[in-house]
Amino acid sequence: MITIKLLRIFIQADTNKSMQRMLRQSTSEDFDHINDQYQRILGIADKIKTNRDLTWADRYVGAKYYRSLKNELSGKTLRYDNLSKPTKS
């Protein structure tokens, strides 16, 4: 977790909007990409909670989406497991 905290200083992408909010506001074109990243964040949060080792790729993604990861670890969010794709309006 220390590596993630240090890396986030340089690569954090979700400083203003968490991944959860991005999913709610996404269009059908970018939903798949955001949902894949969100599912990866959920896996990283589970690894941290169970004290399993993280790969460098996991640490990179965790640092990039640090705000979303902290929300998941602190229990501030509900997991969006059964999301349906948004329809075009």
Predicted confidence (pLDDT) per residue in 32-87, tens digit: 888 899 999 999 999 999 999 999 999 999 999 999 999 899 887 776 554 555 55
Is the model's pLDDT at 4 over the cut of 70? yes
pLDDT in the model for residue 42: 92
Q: How many domains are contained in the chain?
A: 1
Contact 72, 41 (CB under 8 A): yes
Q: Is residue 85 in a domain?
A: no
Q: Is residue 45 in a domain?
A: yes
Q: Is residue 89 in a domain?
A: no
Domain of residue 59, residue span: 2-74
Nearest-angstrom CA–CA distance, 16 and 46 = 24
What is the pTM (predicted TM-score) of this model?
Answer: 0.80
Q: Is residue 43 in a domain?
A: yes
